Chains A and B, each alone.
Chain A
Amino acid sequence: MDARALDRELKKGSAELLILSLLAARARHGYELNKVIHARSRGQLRFHIDSLYPLLYRLEERGWIKGVWVEKPGERRRTARPGAATKDVGRIRGGRTARHGRRTCLTGREKCARGCRR
């Protein structure tokens, strides 16, 4: 997966949905988020730092997620959690991504991990 493909997906808005669905499960910070995406796409997908954060900030400005500084002993991290406007992100995921239609298949492979065709 190259950066250009990811950029296309970004433009289509799928990346936003991807991030939202991941955050709907639990709050994560940016680096962790990227790692999860990397792992789940089996190394296919990775955000550049200069795409990921502007995207998170945009979602934040729209009120879809909310960044909070979480203090743990020895570290202080900003963690993103679903914002007030995304209470129904679960439903979105359940509807769109579960059917796993073309637009939401993010891996870009001929045959994706769950078996849908491109």
Chain B
Amino acid sequence: MPDWAREVRARLSSLTLSPEREAEIVDELAQHLDDRWRELIAGGASPDDATRLTLADFRQRDVLARRMATLRQAHPPASVTPGVATGRLLGDLRHDLRYATRTMAARPGFTAVAVLSLALSIGADTAIFSLWNGVLHASLPAVREPDQLVMLSNPDESGSWTGRTQGPRSWLTYGEFEQLRDHAEGFSAIMASQSSLNTWQVRFEGGDWEEARGRLVSGGFFQALGVAPAIGRLFTAADDRTDTPDAVISHDYWKRRFGGRFDVLGKTLTVRKAVLTIIGVAPPGFIGETSGQRPDLWLPLRMQPSVLPGSDRLHDTPPEKTMWLHVFGRLTPGVTPAQAEAQANAVFRAGLESFYGGIATPERRRELLDQRLQIGPAGRGASPTRHEFSQSLTALLAGVAVLLLIACANLANLLLARGAVRTPEMALRLSLGASRGRLIRQLVTESLALAAIGGAAAIAVAYGLHGALVRMLAESDPRFHMSFSADPLVLAFNLPATVCAALLFGVLPAWQATRADAATSLKEQSRGGSGTFGRLRSAGLLVSLQLALSLPLLVGAGLLARTVYNLLRADLGFPAERLLLVRVNLRDAGYEGARRDSVLRELVGEVRRIPGVQAASFSQLGVFSGGESSATIEVEGYAPKADGRQSALDVIGPGYFSTLGVPMRVGREILESDSGDATNVCAINEAFAKRFFDHRNPIGMRITLVNDDNRTSYQVVGVAKNARTHSLRGDVEPRFFVPAKQPYASASPTLLIRTAAGTQPVLAAVRKGIQGVDAAVPIMSATSIEERMAPLTAQDRATAQLAVVFGAVALALAAIGLYGVLSYGIARRTGEIAIRIALGAQRGRVISMILRETSGLVAVGLALGGGMAYMASRLIGSRLYGVAPQDPLTLTLATGLLLMVAFSAAGVPAMRASRVDPMTALRQS
């Protein structure tokens, strides 16, 4: 029997099949020929004939090869030397990625560290960026064409003000809104919303009372924002004309509270004195016109008297106005904001003229008419927190960016060390014909793959962190709420951050790793030689950079920590403990006029009798309540300067100063005997005395409160020490205090209760006491001074905590980096050190040699870092309290800490070097 395999192989020889494939084909065809031959033999043919006939099945010698040539298997891919330039970019990329996965899988420890540190730092960056973007830049969600929206009020302010005002308006009155809505050209739609968010006790269909947040809005609210209902219907312009008890709820609230059931439409809800019907659900994602808040329900403005009882904010009596509304408009196409502003102001001014028409004196009129509207873009919506949080968020964003840089430097260092291990591999590839550019590309692809995994994980980290950050911010403003959105802008941040990180930590090590001259490197490997100093130099530079970047973080953390320390120990001018603040609403309970005075006296008297209460009084504003009150005054013997006719004011009860614990500098405090028909007296604070009386003795002087044509004079009886009752920051404002009596008796005063021990045990008795006087008096809030002040420092505490965490992480990374570089350097130089020791170098000399080298790195780092710290401290300058941005103590402490950590990190490898046994080390090499 002939050798069929040889026959077949000869016919395949012109093809380039892979060896395995060729063997298979040869096998199969040989089998076929064999079968055929056996059949012929069985049919009686002679072996020679059978062989001839069998081979005749192959026609010309090259038919098989020709037919096979068109098959794919005849063209196996050329074998690849990793790193050899093939000129096919995509093919290379696929190859590199496969190689990268293998290298990553081969070193799971390194991969985990790299991915984790990238995920954490990019995640933190993304989370803070997302929040920063959400608070400062993002457009209102779910609103149609937000760029067309403008605001006629101040987007940064929320609240209300009753009285008079001058200059640009923060808020508008209901009457002013109506005039603008009906007469201002230039707007295709215009609407008003309550500038502050209410927290209401509500009840659905006679269920239990529960808390819900919401605001009053005009009929055109939803239409002006361009939204359609998810279900049901929304308010229309008709709601501005009649008092329709309708309510619209948010989509989120619908899902959360009602499980998204459709029978929510038509349900009734009770809010204070009103019973309303739910008519619709706003579209998903819609939060209204204020960024950072999430209302549950919207009610028509016209329902104000019954859902916010106590005052009629829909009608004003000259000259007093209640300003409480934000007004938004959508510009008619073709109208510029400037034109719209001019038109709106013309309508506004006409309104003012008719409102103040009754004021006779031209001077007064001029003063009263000095009001105007400013139009600004409102695509981002109103936000009471934007201004407040912007600096902290920007500082934090800078902080995490620095942290990311440090993490990159650290990874670069790790990769440098790995590069050193891979030098022989690279040298081998270079000598096999790989080009250096191609090798760098491959190494950078590895970095990119690492970063890609880290970046993807970062999104998950960011999601988690975002929630925590929002909770932190919400501590200083409980109404603040913002959900994490994978905004295109946020992703557009995450992606380049990831790629930049990969390039940052990948390129330098790749450059270094492929620098090796093949011959030297291969030789060196076999010799275990002393290492290339170029690589150590760049590693050292990276460590210096890490140290430099850590310094501003440490200084920032230190400054913020001291700020918090100072804020928490700020001298208020009275003891900030054992003080209970209980705000009651007398107007709601139906007390007006003189009855308010008497019920207040009765309440305070009742509270004073409670065991554990040392003293009690009250004031209109309370302490750190966020409310403020000011008045136009004339001071005897004081010539008013340009700004000098206004002063802050509070209406107080007898014993106010002694209850708070504010000492009188001169004279006496307001007493029980000053109420009723007694002479009008008042007390002032030191700031007031300094401002208005300068060096004169204020006692006995007269201060006249000017309220239009109504003038009331008060005689100064005492000067109280400056006390911080309204703001922790800034100077204490000039303030004067008048006793609570007609006509200045507060509708919702705050009882100030000084207790002997803690406030908690007394609270129940106080509630009972108040109920005992009149069960109809609602207690609006009851908090200790500590609870009241916590939100004031919450933002600073949160920022400081984060800064301290960032600083600690930065320091730890820098220490790891330093330790790694020195360990590596010493490992490479064991031979050299061994020779030194063998030649008689003292161990101490070896240690000091290593530490001397460390000093160089640290010195460069500190010099660089000092400059950065200087700039960083200016960034947070205005958030600082009681500490200068260039505070030398903080700078010294931060530097000291950095030095300590740096030398501890250097100490371990230095000790190890000094313990090198020369004999062992030299024998090894």
Contact = CB atoms under 8 A, between A and B. Distances in A.
A49 B72 contact: no
Nearest to A55: B67
B73 interface: yes
A87 interface: no
Contacts of B72: 61
Interface residues of A, number: 18
Contacts of A58: 70-71
B31 A77 contact: yes
A36 to B, nearest CB: 13
Nearest to A48: B57
B25 interface: yes
B31 A54 contact: no
B592 interface: no
B753 to A, nearest CB: 84
A67 B35 CA distance: 18
B25 A49 contact: no
A3 interface: yes
Given A57-B73, A61-B73, A78-B27, A49 B67 contact: no
B68 to A, nearest CB: 5
A67 B27 CA distance: 13
A30 to B, nearest CB: 5
B28 interface: yes
Interface in B42-92: 57-59, 63-64, 67-68, 70-73
Contact of B58 (A49, A54, A57, A67): A49
Given A53-B28, A54-B67, A54-B68, A31 B73 contact: no
Chain A CB count within 10 A is highest, among B28, B33, B36, B59, for B28
B31 A50 contact: no
B258 to A, nearest CB: 51
Nearest to B72: A61
A34 B71 CA distance: 21
B29 interface: yes
A54 B64 contact: yes
Contact of B59 (A29, A50, A67): A50
B33 A54 contact: no
B32 interface: yes
A30 B28 contact: yes
Nearest to B57: A49
B29 A53 contact: yes
A53 B73 CA distance: 13
Nearest to B21: A57
A50 B63 contact: yes
Contact of A48 (B27, B28, B58, B71): B58
B71 A49 contact: no
Chain A CB count within 10 A is highest, among B11, B32, B33, B70, for B32
A49 B29 contact: yes
Interface in A39-58: 48-51, 53-55, 57-58
A50 B58 contact: yes
Contacts of B29: 49, 53
A55 B63 CA distance: 13
A49 B888 CA distance: 94
B33 A49 contact: yes
Contacts of B73: 57, 61
A53 B35 contact: no
Contacts of B63: 48, 50-51
Chain A CB count within 10 A is highest, among B25, B33, B36, B67, for B67
B28 A54 contact: no
Interface in B250-305: none
Given A48-B59, A53-B25, A31 B32 contact: yes
Interface in A82-108: none
B769 to A, nearest CB: 86
B492 to A, nearest CB: 42
A31 B57 contact: no
Nearest to B61: A50
A9 to B, nearest CB: 15
Contacts of B64: 49-50, 53-54
Contacts of B32: 30-31, 49, 53
Contacts of B27: 76, 78
Chain B CB count within 10 A is highest, among A3, A30, A49, for A49
Contacts of B24: 78
A58 B29 CA distance: 15
A48 B63 CA distance: 10
Contacts of B35: 31
Given A31-B36, A61-B73, A78 B57 contact: no
Contacts of B31: 29, 31, 77-78
A67 to B, nearest CB: 8
Contacts of A50: 11, 57-59, 63-64, 67
Interface in A1-37: 3, 29-31
Nearest to A51: B67
A58 B32 CA distance: 18
Contacts of B67: 50-51, 54-55
Contacts of B59: 3, 48, 50
13 contacts: A31-B35, A31-B36, A48-B57, A48-B59, A49-B33, A49-B58, A50-B64, A51-B67, A53-B25, A53-B29, A54-B64, A54-B70, A61-B73
Interface pairs A-B: 5 shortest CB-CB: A54-B67, A50-B64, A50-B63, A31-B35, A49-B57
Given A31-B32, A54-B68, 5 more contacts: A3-B59, A49-B57, A53-B29, A57-B68, A76-B27
